[in-house]
Chain A
Amino acid sequence: MTCEELLQALNEYVDGTLDLSAAECQQFAQHLAGCNPCQLVVDNIRGTIQLFRAGEPFPLPVEFQQRLQLNLQQRWAEKFGVGESAEVR
């Protein structure tokens, strides 16, 4: 496997999908063992995904959340009649 071929199969390897055969996985691992740049690229891609999955960068505004709840209750009541939680208000 060349660096170029590794690049094309990167997703399947990083995601651990079944699109790669056992033999291809082994070729991938073999290439990685002898190629520091490709090792780093694979590690970088994993790190990049990890960075985006962490945290909650866009907190839900409290005022909007309250407005949303009221609007949904209202729509629910129009469609199904008054929901039990609507009586809590």
Chain B
Amino acid sequence: MEVVDSSTDEALLARAREGQFAAFQSLVDRYQRRVYGLAWRITRHAADAEDVTQQTFLSLIENLTAFRGVSAAGWILRIATNHALKVLRRRRSQPHVSWSETDANDSYSTLPHPDFIADWQAPPEVLVQRQETRQAIEAALEELDDKYRVVFILRDIEELSVRETAEALDISEANVKVRLLRARLMLRERLVREFGDEATRVFPDHRHD
């Protein structure tokens, strides 16, 4: 049974630190869905998402007294991200470009240019009601390289700040920004190709200022 507690996250954390399990439980109730969704989107695997969710809240118990940050949400999601990234690292048997390494694509000079530019077939709030759209957006996200996917998840889906995202991933804020822009542009291209209204398609005119 979930007990609704209207206290702020930080008040719940303070009470949990005093040893009140009920306060901790309220925090779990508040964040378990978000942590699970975050873990699912990063690991793309239900069992891993469950492991990450459990590890996250166990870590929270272990580190209750260590919390010094401003936002409990940021702290919890950061712990969850760390656990989810560990799964990704463990899974990789082939060494390839790490999500935390910088490469030539981490600059603004090679941004992917919008090609299919059109209005949506229907407003996004209508599109998202359809099962096929929900499947398509998750498939599009899955196609992104980890380094872009994870930044998009933290920044745009979980709404962490640029700084919180940078700290969670141990990359610079500048890197967060450029990776987010690439992720947004790639997802936009893919989704508008699928859910854009061909009749409204326009072509970029780079001649004007």
Interface string of A1-38 (1 = CB under 8 A from B): 11110011011001001000000000000010011111
- Residue pair A72, B49 in contact (C-beta under 8 Å): no
Interface string of A51-89 (1 = CB under 8 A from B): 111111111110011001101110110011101111000
Partner of A36, one of B125, B177, B202: B202
- Residue pair B57, A72 in contact (C-beta under 8 Å): yes
Interface string of B113-124 (1 = CB under 8 A from A): 110011110011
Interface residues of A, count at CB 8 A: 52
- Residue pair B127, A51 in contact (C-beta under 8 Å): yes
Q: Which residues of B contact A73 (CB under 8 A)?
A: 21
Interface residues of B, count at CB 8 A: 63
B58 closest partner in A (C-beta): A75
Provide the main secondary structure of the chain A interface. helix
Partner of B37, one of A41, A57, A65: A57
CB of A60, distance to nearest CB on chain B (Å):
5
B36 in the interface, Cβ–Cβ < 8 Å? yes
Partner of B32, one of A10, A60, A80: A60
Q: Which residues of B contact A71 (CB under 8 A)?
A: 54, 58
- Residue pair A51, B124 in contact (C-beta under 8 Å): yes
Partner of A83, one of B20, B33, B162, B196: B20
CB of B84, distance to nearest CB on chain A (Å):
13
- Chain B residues near A (Cβ < 8 Å): 19-22, 24-25, 28, 32-33, 36-37, 40-41, 46, 49-50, 53-54, 57-58, 61-62, 108, 111, 113-114, 117-120, 123-125, 127-128, 133-134, 137-138, 141, 152, 156-157, 159, 162, 177, 180-181, 184-185, 187-188, 191-192, 196, 200, 202-206, 208-209
